[in-house]
């Protein structure tokens, strides 16, 4: 079978899908807009929409309370002119913003320009005011507006067969009901909604949540490009009709654009997508009458949006990973923070030195003085650790898959590795860092999906 891009088949498959789209006019009467650049820019907005969800789903996914007329997620998505790169920039919903003069959608009252949190622009003036505000802040011209609510998000994820997410540590949020143990999970639509909505997993709050949303989109792209969705006309139509049947979009976005996107993404790999959050200067900038807002670092933010306007990659070019080098495994504790002593538990000459060198090469702070173990008949590699440093031990265990974890009271912070006859190699590991703020951190999709990184 020829892929979806074979014009006649593709267009036939997509026929009639536009009818389910709810149309909005986010560009009505807009003046003094930024100059158009190269490539295509989407403003992707996630809205509440809990009023469309069944009572059972509300209970299961902790969606109580009244729906708010507000935006939960705001992202700028740039598709490069050569169709080889997608850049996603998350805009914190609590960003300090100044909305231009407008008429209130609810009261009809005329408002002068005034400061707000960015997500309040939607409440006051809907898609039009949201687009105007984002364009004023970024000087990036928006070509298409796409609004997704809770329902369309869950249905689309389910239509794709779920999305695979991995985490190096336990993720729990009592507000959303998220409960993931370390490891790899295939999330259903409802579970995915819990994952991207959770703000109480760590101390990073909404900024950490944006990072998880980016990880999820990277996983979504991997699922679409690697799971046969884009190469299977029937599957592509199912996913497209599910999404288009429950979104709001501008009049120029429809099945033709979905088909073009599908064709453009056929050759995508996880490294074709890149993700960034707007650099933050002050994460708790107080504004009278509004409260605490997120103040952007203006010079760094301007540099980021300039790259989008000029269709330049946000991430620096990274050398490719050698073909024989395995992907890094995400871990909770950075290996650089873990002190490791290696012992040779076998009669294989030099094994302790090889293990010490391999662990040091992937970042562990080894003693560089491997010794011989009390027993030279160890079959399975042992990781002996003080229970107080159990997270560090799990990081070492990730680098030595198949090894035995053995708790030893009062051993201290140094983790002891007794190399056994089963030792084959050390698997590279990478830290799953929380959001740090400040600097512009750009990651590519292959760095954040399961089995990714380098």
Pull the structure tokens for residue 101: 């003069």
205-217, pLDDT tens digit by residue? 667 778 888 888 8
358-394, pLDDT tens digit by residue? 999 999 999 999 999 999 999 999 999 999 999 899 9
The C-alpha atoms of residue 173 and residue 156 are separated, in whole angstroms, by 23
Backbone angles phi, psi at 136, to 5 degrees: -65, -35
The C-alpha atoms of residue 168 and residue 191 are separated, in whole angstroms, by 18
DSSP code per residue over 114-151: EEEETTHHHHHHHHHHHHHHHHHHH-----EEEEE-HH
Q: Along the chain (454 residues), what's the average pLDDT of each consecutive run of 10 residues?
A: 43 60 87 89 80 63 57 88 89 92 80 91 90 95 89 84 84 85 87 85 69 84 76 76 79 79 74 86 89 92 93 71 58 88 95 96 93 94 94 92 94 95 91 52 74 50
| Per-residue model confidence (pLDDT) at position 18 | 66
Task: Decide: 122 and 71 in contact? Cβ < 8 Å.
Answer: yes
CA proximity to 262, closest of 50, 95, 86: 86
Task: Decide: 197 and 209 in contact? Cβ < 8 Å.
Answer: yes
| Per-residue model confidence (pLDDT) at position 212 | 84
User: Which stretches of 271-389 are DSSP H helices?
Assistant: 298-309, 351-361
| Per-residue model confidence (pLDDT) at position 153 | 83
Pull the structure tokens for residue 230: 């884009």
**Which residue is listed with tokens 């869950």?**
154
Task: Decide: 337 and 364 in contact? Cβ < 8 Å.
Answer: no
| Per-residue model confidence (pLDDT) at position 268 | 77
| Coil, strand or helix at 63 | coil
CA proximity to 343, closest of 367, 324, 317: 367
Planar angle of CA 193, 189, 5, nearest 5 degrees: 115
Q: Which residues lie closer than 8 Å to 223 by C-beta, 6 or more apart?
A: 160, 161, 163, 164, 229
The C-alpha atoms of residue 446 and residue 435 are separated, in whole angstroms, by 18
Question: What is the model's pTM?
Answer: 0.72
């Amino acid at each position: 079978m020829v892929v979806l891009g074979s014009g006649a088949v593709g267009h036939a498959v997509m026929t009639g899908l536009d009818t389910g789209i709810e149309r909005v006019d986010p560009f009505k009467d807009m003046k003094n807009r930024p100059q158009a650049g190269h490539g295509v820019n989407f403003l992707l907005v996630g809205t509440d929409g809990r009023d469309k969800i069944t009572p059972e789903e509300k209970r299961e996914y902790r969606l109580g309370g009244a729906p708010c007329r507000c935006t939960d997620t705001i992202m700028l998505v740039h598709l490069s002119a050569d169709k080889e790169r997608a850049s996603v920039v998350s805009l914190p919903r609590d960003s300090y913003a100044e909305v231009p003069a407008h008429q209130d959608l609810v009261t009809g009252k005329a408002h002068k320009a005034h400061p707000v949190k960015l997500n309040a622009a939607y409440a006051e003036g809907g898609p039009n005011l949201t687009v105007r505000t984002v364009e004023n802040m970024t000087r990036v011209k928006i070509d298409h507006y796409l609004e997704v609510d809770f329902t369309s998000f869950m249905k689309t994820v389910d239509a794709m067969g779920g999305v695979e997410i991995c985490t190096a540590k336990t993720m729990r949020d009592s507000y959303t009901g998220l409960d993931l143990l370390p490891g790899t999970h295939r999330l259903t639509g409802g579970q995915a909604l819990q994952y991207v909505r959770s703000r109480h997993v760590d101390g990073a709050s909404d900024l950490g949540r944006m990072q998880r949303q980016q990880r999820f989109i990277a996983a979504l792209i991997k699922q679409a490009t690697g799971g046969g969705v884009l190469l299977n006309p029937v599957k592509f139509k199912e996913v497209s009709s599910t999404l288009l049947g429950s979104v709001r979009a501008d009049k120029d976005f429809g099945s033709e654009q979905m088909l073009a996107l599908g064709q453009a993404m056929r050759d995508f790999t996880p490294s074709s997508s890149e993700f960034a959050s707007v650099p933050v200067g002050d994460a708790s900038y107080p504004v009278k009458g509004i409260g605490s807002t997120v103040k952007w670092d203006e010079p760094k933010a301007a540099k980021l949006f300039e790259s989008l306007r000029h269709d330049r990659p946000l991430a620096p070019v990274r050398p490719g990973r050698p073909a024989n080098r395995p992907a890094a495994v995400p871990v909770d504790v950075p290996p650089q923070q873990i002190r490791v002593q290696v012992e040779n538990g076998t009669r294989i000459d030099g094994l302790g030195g090889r293990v010490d060198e391999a662990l040091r090469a992937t970042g562990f702070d080894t003693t560089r003085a491997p010794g011989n173990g009390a027993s030279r008949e160890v079959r399975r590699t042992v990781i002996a650790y003080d229970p107080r440093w159990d997270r560090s031990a799990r990081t070492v265990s990730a680098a030595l898959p198949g090894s035995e974890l053995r708790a030893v009271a009062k051993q201290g912070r140094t983790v002891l590795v007794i190399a056994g006859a089963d030792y084959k190699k050390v698997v590279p590991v990478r830290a799953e860092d929380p959001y740090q703020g400040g600097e512009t951190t750009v990651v590519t999709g292959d760095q954040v999906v399961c089995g990714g990184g380098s």
